[in-house]
């Protein structure tokens, strides 16, 4: 009896371990290889839109893929120096990807409910400095799949140079190119901002990735009971 009880206790301990998941702070998606040539386009949410001041509402969205369930904690984008450095808030929009372009209405993206605090930092590569816009502390759980992710700083151009642009990557497009929507009016007219040239824009996503271990150890648990 004592032997059987010991075997059962061992089996239960092994089952508890096997049903757990391992998680840690990891890079979930990395397209942070920003191109130092300065190429890019606007990614800005101004207070209002004006042809005179140049203020506008234009949101870039990157497609990303997660092979397992994830928890997103941090989203970073990379922009040129300029008026983005005054921003303290950004609109963060994440939605399932169902095709080569998003289908969401502009008001779903440019929405007060999506407003998140951001921090500004800098990175220098090959003598060229860039602005890193970081949105952290998110704790957003997502199942495995394909998504659109958009982080758009809230600031005004105000007619002051330099006008910040979201940098393109140095590498080839992964999946579909970055898409953009102008949100000065209510519409669903997503487009590729630098078409006919097609690019991905620099982004990095960090968080936690769950790794179930139950299937690999279940056979060992059953063997103890035999």
Q: What's the distance, Cα to Cα, between the start and end of the chain in Å? A: 15
User: In this predicted model, which residue has the larger pLDDT, 102 or 1?
Assistant: 102
CA atoms within 13 A on the CB side of 60: 27
Asked if 169 and 104 count as a contact pair (C-beta separation under 8 A), the reply is: no
Which has the minimum average pLDDT: 31-40, 71-80, 160-169, 196-205?
160-169
pLDDT in tens, 63-106: 999 999 999 999 999 999 999 999 999 999 999 999 999 999 99
Asked if the model's pLDDT at residue 13 lies above 70, the reply is no
What are the domain boundaries of the chain? 24-209
Instruction: Identify the CA nearest to 106 among candidates 165, 153, 148, 57.
Output: 57
User: Mean per-residue pLDDT for 189-195?
Assistant: 97
Q: pLDDT at position 25, please?
A: 81
Instruction: Report the mean per-residue pLDDT for the chain.
Output: 85
DSSP state of 1: -
> How far, CA to CA in Å, does 162 sit from each of 56, 57, 192, 207?
15, 17, 23, 33
What pLDDT is recorded for position 225? 25
Q: Can you tell me the distance from the alpha carbon of 145 to that of 123, in angstroms, rounded to the nearest whole number?
A: 30
Structural tokens at position 132: 């890193």
Q: Give the model's pLDDT for residue 177.
A: 98
Check pLDDT > 50 for residue 139. yes
Cα dist from 17 to 13, 35, 70, 211, whole Å: 6, 45, 20, 12
At 181, the pLDDT band (50, 70, 90 cuts) reads very high
C-alpha to C-alpha distance for 42 and 193, rounded to whole angstroms: 9
DSSP-derived 3-state class of residue 216: helix
Average pLDDT over residues 171-184: 97
Would the pLDDT of 14 be above 80? Answer: no
| Nearest CA among 130, 148, 129, 140 for reference residue 200 | 148
CA-to-CA distance for 158 and 44, rounded, in angstroms?
12
| Residue 197 confidence class, pLDDT cut points 50, 70, 90 | very high
């Amino acid at each position: 009896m004592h032997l059987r009880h010991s075997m059962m206790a061992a089996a239960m301990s092994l089952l508890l371990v096997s049903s757990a998941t391992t998680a840690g702070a990891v890079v979930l998606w990395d397209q942070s290889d920003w191109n130092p040539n300065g190429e890019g386009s606007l990614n800005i949410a101004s207070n209002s839109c004006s042809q005179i001041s140049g203020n506008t509402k234009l949101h870039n969205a990157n497609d990303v893929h997660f092979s397992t369930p994830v928890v997103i904690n941090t989203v970073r984008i990379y922009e040129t120096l300029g008026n983005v450095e005054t921003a303290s808030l950004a609109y963060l929009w994440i939605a399932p990807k169902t095709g080569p372009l998003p289908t969401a209405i502009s008001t779903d993206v440019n929405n007060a409910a999506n407003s998140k605090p951001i921090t500004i930092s800098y990175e220098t590569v090959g003598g060229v400095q860039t602005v890193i816009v970081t949105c952290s502390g998110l704790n957003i759980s997502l199942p495995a799949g394909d998504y659109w992710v958009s982080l758009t700083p809230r600031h005004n151009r105000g007619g002051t140079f330099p006008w910040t642009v979201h940098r393109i990557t140095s590498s080839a497009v992964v999946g579909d190119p970055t898409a953009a929507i102008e949100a000065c009016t209510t519409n669903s007219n997503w487009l590729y901002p630098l078409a006919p040239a097609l690019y991905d824009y620099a982004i990095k996503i960090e968080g936690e990735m769950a790794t179930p271990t139950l299937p690999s150890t279940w056979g060992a648990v059953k063997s103890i009971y035999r």
